[in-house]
């Protein structure tokens, strides 16, 4: 995943879990919006985002996630 801004997004998709995925003009992922993060953490203790061909766990994103 590379750094980008959501304003660079030209295409959008949804993960199987219902999270919002944003892609840049070059097709690279530029943003993820986690839907119902607090509820998911309270219910499951984890947040999973399945991307096309890869699966990312919240623990893998510690350095890029910011608390709401």
For residue 66, the model assigns a pLDDT of: 64
* pLDDT, tens only, 20-51: 999 888 888 888 999 999 999 999 999 999 98
Task: Give Rg (Cα) of the chain.
Answer: 12
* Under 8 Å between Cβ of 20 and 33: yes
Residue 17's alpha-carbon distances to 3, 7, 24, 64, in angstroms, are 23, 23, 21, 20
- Phi first, then psi, for residue 38 (nearest 5°) are -60, -45
User: What is the pTM assigned to this prediction?
Assistant: 0.65
> Considering the chain, what percentage of its residues have pLDDT values greater than 70?
74
């Amino acid at each position: 995943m590379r750094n980008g801004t959501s304003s660079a997004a030209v295409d959008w998709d949804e993960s199987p879990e219902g999270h919002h995925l944003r892609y840049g003009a070059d097709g690279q992922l530029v943003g993820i919006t986690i839907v119902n993060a607090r509820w998911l953490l309270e219910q499951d203790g984890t947040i999973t985002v399945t991307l096309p061909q890869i699966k990312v766990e919240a623990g893998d994103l510690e350095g890029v996630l910011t608390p709401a």
